Every structure is written in structure tokens, then in C-alpha cells.
């Protein structure tokens, strides 16, 4: 029997919103992974020496969402349902394509035709989700959390006509909005259920040029007080094997391994949360090779936070039959391949999330 929902909160004014994530600037350890216990120091780049088993089981998957509505009630209800389902980990709220309208920065949502929403509206909608999660968490008998909300966009140029400088400003203003959203959450009872509020961006090679995408990333990271951000995008066309200390391997649409590394991990605030959609494991291999690229070219592997799949979206609107990994499959592929080379080795892979349509 469904528990009656509390009435959703009215839209919160922009000056009040805040989601807290990490304390202070988003720093991280960019360490070289040493050879040691349970690490095979073969110097290889793929298998041949995969671990004999997975010491970590796949974590329960959360549900992330492509947002197509400006309804505060709908966002509140999504948060309510997430808590009722006992979801913990990361939840991405993807608000779509960067856009500027009448001098205001924001995004176009995933409805048809797309609705433009300002950054202030996005902030309010994300906080409504957090409020719904908190209120719902007070009605369940099991322990909830920890939960990180990632307020997401993309590098999709489309017909926006945005310039490099527009993307820099978009990144900077996105950082300010996410910081304010975290403050709204942190300054209220909602913080008891929401561990942090960070940013996310779906970076894909065929969406935009490396230069414009780097501009967004630079604008985001240059903002004082910015939160962490997660790249939940692709590495399309990047190498699945053969990464070495001499070459900067090519990816699709004039991207390179260096470009993908830079926007995913090269900035202090950046972490990868890659799409692992392909059933054959190729996506996982690409990200293992990018982590190896970091080791060989920048002195340390990536710290990849988890895997994103799209089974829910496939079941809702359809997708290519080779791109419907379950959350457990996508996570396991990535975990296996990261542990196939000591230089990209991760003992833990924190998160699994599956994205669907709101």
C-alpha cells in the first residue's frame, strides 16, 4: 500500500537553495597505484592477468532521470519514490542541452518541443527532488542514504550557436547554481538525508568539439567554491587496447584520449561516471585504457566513481539491442577491466546508476 505523500514544497526562491557535497573545494588524490598485495605487476595493458574473482559485488543501482518537466510536484514525487525504493548512492538529474535565451543561461529539457529553463528554475527543481527524498525517508523503517544528487547537463551543441566563451560562462554559472543548491539543502533538515549535491555533465564526442567542451570544464573549475562534477558521458571511438606512453590515441570526431582524460579527470573537480552501455564490454575497455593513459601520461590512474547504464531508458523508448546492459552487467564489466592491469587498478567502484525518462 502506498504511503500518502506529503504535499510538495512550494518553489524555493533562488537565494535559499543549497545542496552540500564535500567540504570545501573538491580536492582528490591523483596517486600512482603501487604494486602490492593482490596486485599483479605484469606491466600489461589488458588482461592477460585478470583477477580470479570480484572482491566487491555490484552495489544496488539507483535510478537517474532525463528531466522533461518543469513541475515541482513531479520532481518532489521522483525524490519521494527514490527513498521509498531505498535508493542510495548517486542520482543524476539530467536537465538537458545548454542554452541561452534572452541573455539568461539555462538548458533545454527533454520534452518536445524542448522547454527552456533557467538556472534558477533548475536549482528549485533539484531542491524539490531533495525535499521529496527527505520527506519520504521519514516514513520508512529502513536506513536511507547516503545519497549524492548530481545536477546534470551535457556538452550538446545542436543548434544552440553557443561559442567557446558562452560555454565557459555556462560552466561557471552552472558551478554557482550547484553551489547555491547545495547551500539550500545544507541549511535545512533535508541535509539529514542528502549527503551532497554536485554537478554532472554528459560529455559525448559527437555532441561538440573538444575546445568548446574544455571551455565549459574550465569555466566550471575556475569558479571559487565549485562542487565536484561527474562526467557521465562516453569515450566513443577511443582505444580499447594498445594505450602506451608515446601516443595520444584518437577518438571519434577529432577528440583524443588526452581530451577525454582532461574533461573527465584533468581538472581538480572532475571525476568519471561513464556510460557502460555496450553488451560486449567495449565501453568498459575504453575507460580502462583512459585510466591507463592517465597513469602513463599524467603520473596516476583515474579514480572512476562508478558506472551508468540505460536499461530503464531502453525499456521506455527503446535503444539499440547491443546497448542495454543491466546495471549489474555494466558495473561488473567496468570493475573487471579496471582490475585487469595494475596501473588502472581500483579495489572499489562506488556507484551504479541506471538512467531513464522522467
C-alpha neighbours within 13 Å on the C-beta side of residue 348? 3
Judge whether 331 and 307 are in contact, CB under 8 Å. yes
What pLDDT is stored for residue 144 in this prediction? 81
What contacts 24+ positions apart, CB below 8 Å, involve 249-255?
A: 249/289, 249/293, 251/205, 252/205, 252/206, 253/205, 253/206, 253/209, 254/209, 254/210, 255/205, 255/210
Cα 338 to Cα 270, 305, 341: the distances in Å are: 18, 12, 7
Specify the fold of 14-21+34-357.
TIM Barrel (3.20.20)
Q: Which helix (H) or strand (E) holds 177?
A: helix 164-186
Instruction: Write the pLDDT tens digit of every residue in 228-275.
Output: 999 999 999 999 999 999 999 999 999 999 999 999 999 999 999 999
List the grid coordinates of 69.
Answer: 518537466
> Residue 358's pLDDT is what?
85
Task: Name the pLDDT band for 13 (thresholds 50, 70, 90).
Answer: very low
Look at residue 312 in the predicted model and tell me its pLDDT: 98
Q: Would you state the pLDDT for residue 80? A: 97
Report the alpha-carbon distance of residue 250 to residue 276 in Å, rounded: 19
pLDDT at 142: 84
Q: Is the pLDDT of residue 28 over 80?
A: no
Distance CA 269, CA 290 (A): 18
Q: What global pTM score does this model have?
A: 0.87
Task: Give the pLDDT confidence score for residue 14 in this predicted structure.
Answer: 32
Percentage of residues in the chain with pLDDT exceeding 70?
A: 85
Indicate the domain borders of the chain.
14-21+34-357
According to the model, what pLDDT value does residue 194 have? 97
pLDDT of residue 186: 97
Q: What pLDDT does 55 receive?
A: 77
Query: How would residue 69 be classed by pLDDT, with cut points 50, 70 and 90?
Result: very high
The share of the chain scoring above pLDDT 90, in percent, equals 83
pLDDT given at position 27: 37
Task: Report, as an integer, the average pLDDT of 108-134.
Answer: 98
Give me the mean pLDDT over the 297-311 stretch. 98
Cell of 336: 573487471
Q: Determine the Cα–Cα distance for residues 222 and 215; give it in Å rounded to an integer.
A: 10
Q: How far apart are CA 157 and CA 330, in angstroms?
A: 28
How many angstroms separate the CA atoms of 331 and 307, rounded? 5
Amino acid at each position: 500500500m502506498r504511503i500518502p505523500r506529503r504535499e510538495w514544497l512550494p518553489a524555493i526562491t533562488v537565494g535559499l537553495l543549497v545542496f552540500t557535497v564535500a567540504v570545501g573545494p573538491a580536492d582528490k588524490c591523483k596517486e600512482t597505484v603501487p604494486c602490492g598485495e593482490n596486485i599483479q605487476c605484469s606491466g600489461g595493458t589488458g588482461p592477460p592477468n585478470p583477477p580470479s574473482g570480484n572482491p566487491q559485488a555490484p552495489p544496488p543501482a539507483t535510478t537517474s532521470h532525463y528531466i522533461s518537466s518543469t513541475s515541482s510536484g513531479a520532481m518532489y514525487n521522483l525524490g519521494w519514490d527514490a527513498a521509498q525504493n531505498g535508493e542510495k548512492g548517486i542520482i543524476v538529474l539530467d536537465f538537458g542541452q545548454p542554452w541561452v535565451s534572452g541573455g539568461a543561461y539555462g538548458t533545454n529539457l527533454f520534452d518536445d518541443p524542448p522547454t527552456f529553463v533557467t538556472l534558477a528554475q533548475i536549482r528549485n527543481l533539484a531542491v524539490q527532488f531533495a525535499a521529496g527524498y527527505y520527506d519520504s525517508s521519514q516514513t520508512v523503517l529502513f536506513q536511507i542514504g547516503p545519497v549524492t544528487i548530481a545536477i546534470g547537463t551535457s556538452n550538446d551543441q545542436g543548434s544552440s550557436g553557443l561559442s567557446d566563451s558562452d560555454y565557459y560562462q555556462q560552466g561557471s554559472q552552472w558551478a554557482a547554481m550547484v553551489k547555491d543548491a547545495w547551500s539550500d539543502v545544507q541549511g535545512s533538515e533535508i541535509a539529514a538525508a542528502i549527503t551532497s549535491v554536485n554537478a554532472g555533465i554528459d560529455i559525448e564526442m559527437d555532441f561538440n568539439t573538444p575546445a568548446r567542451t574544455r571551455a565549459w570544464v574550465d569555466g566550471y573549475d575556475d569558479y571559487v567554491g565549485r562542487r565536484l562534477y561527474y562526467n557521465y558521458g562516453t569515450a566513443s571511438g577511443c582505444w580499447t587496447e594498445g594505450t602506451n606512453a608515446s601516443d595520444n590515441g584518437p577518438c571519434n570526431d577529432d577528440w583524443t584520449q588526452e581530451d577525454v582524460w582532461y574533461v573527465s579527470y584533468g581538472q581538480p573537480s572532475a571525476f568519471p561516471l561513464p556510460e557502460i552501455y555496450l553488451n560486449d564490454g567495449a565501453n568498459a575497455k575504453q575507460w580502462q585504457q583512459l585510466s591507463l593513459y592517465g597513469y602513463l601520461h599524467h603520473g596516476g590512474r583515474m579514480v572512476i566513481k562508478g558506472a551508468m547504464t540505460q536499461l530503464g531508458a531502453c525499456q521506455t523508448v527503446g535503444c539499440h539491442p547491443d546497448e542495454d546492459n543491466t546495471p549489474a552487467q555494466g558495473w561488473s564489466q567496468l570493475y573487471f577491466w579496471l582490475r585487469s592491469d595494475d596501473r588502472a587498478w581500483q579495489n572499489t567502484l562506488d556507484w551504479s546508476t541506471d538512467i531513464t525518462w522522467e
